[in-house]
């Protein structure tokens, strides 16, 4: 099964390479993307972007294709910030993903003080060691393990998987999620959700904002990392040094569009646009 979408507002490279997701790799003419226990092949000819999967409805939602991004792009450009204007125009095919909540929680715990190749390899080892084997288009892959399976693995497994000091975080947080689930968090507004996420072992403010934005779909979240700090200084002439205050500044400035703007600014800065 497959479906297609206007490539102007759905560029797989920009969607996948902007730091919001880790379970993908280059495949054939595009990318193989893994989410939870599902897989899809996404590729583009520059006019149409095509998604092939046994779970088309899931990936239609995953890529946020029910949302009109043309209006979001125009709102971003209307702020008159040169970097934001250039990035929103150049990367109008960037979309925010609707990812699996538990997968995002553990993935972004792993991501702290880490680089993307290493994050991807750690997640791959965890899935390979604990996930169910699947196959799609002749490619073998492993599902992301459930919290109960992750909880049963123990600290030693995470240590051997190369998680470093995060081994304790993953063991303890997976035990908690296996017992409590995450459903109680789903209806919380972004500020309350962030507050609750900060009570999980291994979740700091930036990680909480990433989980809120990419896992829970709170588009008024604004993760602040070193790239965004640089954007704040260079492109907004800001003088604050506290990341929490920088986060508050951007959330107040961009409101419901904060998450989209954050990705345009982050990606544009990283690409030296």
Both ends of the chain: CA-CA distance in Å?
Answer: 37
The dihedral built from the CA positions of residue 124, 127, 129 and 132, taken in this order, carries a sign that is negative
CA distance 222 to 260: 9
Question: Of 26, 206, 237, 245, which is the active-site residue?
Answer: 206
CA dist 61 and 35 (Å) reads 12
Angle of CA points 12, 18, 23, to nearest 5°: 70
**Paired strand residues for 34:** 39
DSSP H/E element including 46: none
d(CA 120, CA 68): 30
Distant-in-sequence, close-in-space partners of 133: CB < 8 Å, separation ≥ 6: 140, 141, 142
- State both tokens at 176: 């908690």
3-state secondary structure of 219: coil
The answer to whether 206 is a known catalytic residue is yes
Residues 6+ apart with CB under 8 A from 39: 32, 33, 53, 54, 134, 136, 137, 139, 141
* Catalytic residue positions, numbered: 206
């Amino acid at each position: 099964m497959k479906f297609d979408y206007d490539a102007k507002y759905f560029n797989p490279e920009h969607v996948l390479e902007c730091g919001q997701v880790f379970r993908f790799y280059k495949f054939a003419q595009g990318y193989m993307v893994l989410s939870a226990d599902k897989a899809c092949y996404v590729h583009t000819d520059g006019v149409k972007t095509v998604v092939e999967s046994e779970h088309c409805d899931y990936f239609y939602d995953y890529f946020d294709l029910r949302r009109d991004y043309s209006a979001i792009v125009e709102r971003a450009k209307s702020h008159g910030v040169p970097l934001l204007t250039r990035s929103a125009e150049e990367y109008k095919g960037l979309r925010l993903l609707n990812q699996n909540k538990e997968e995002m929680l553990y993935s972004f715990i792993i991501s702290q003080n880490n680089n993307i190749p290493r994050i991807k390899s750690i997640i791959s080892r965890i899935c390979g060691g604990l996930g169910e084997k699947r196959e799609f288009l002749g490619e073998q892959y492993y599902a992301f393990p459930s919290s109960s399976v992750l909880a049963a693995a123990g600290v030693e497994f995470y240590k051997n998987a190369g998680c470093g000091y995060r081994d304790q975080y993953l063991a303890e947080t997976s035990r908690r999620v296996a017992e409590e689930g995450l459903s109680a968090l789903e209806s919380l507004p972004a500020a309350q959700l962030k507050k609750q996420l900060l009570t999980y072992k291994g979740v700091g403010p930036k990680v909480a904002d990433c989980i809120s934005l990419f896992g829970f779909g709170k588009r008024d979240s604004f993760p602040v990392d070193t790239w965004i700090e640089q954007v704040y200084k260079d492109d907004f002439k800001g003088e604050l040094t506290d990341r929490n205050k920088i986060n508050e500044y951007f959330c107040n400035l961009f409101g419901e569009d904060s998450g989209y703007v954050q990705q345009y600014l982050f990606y544009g800065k990283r690409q030296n646009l």
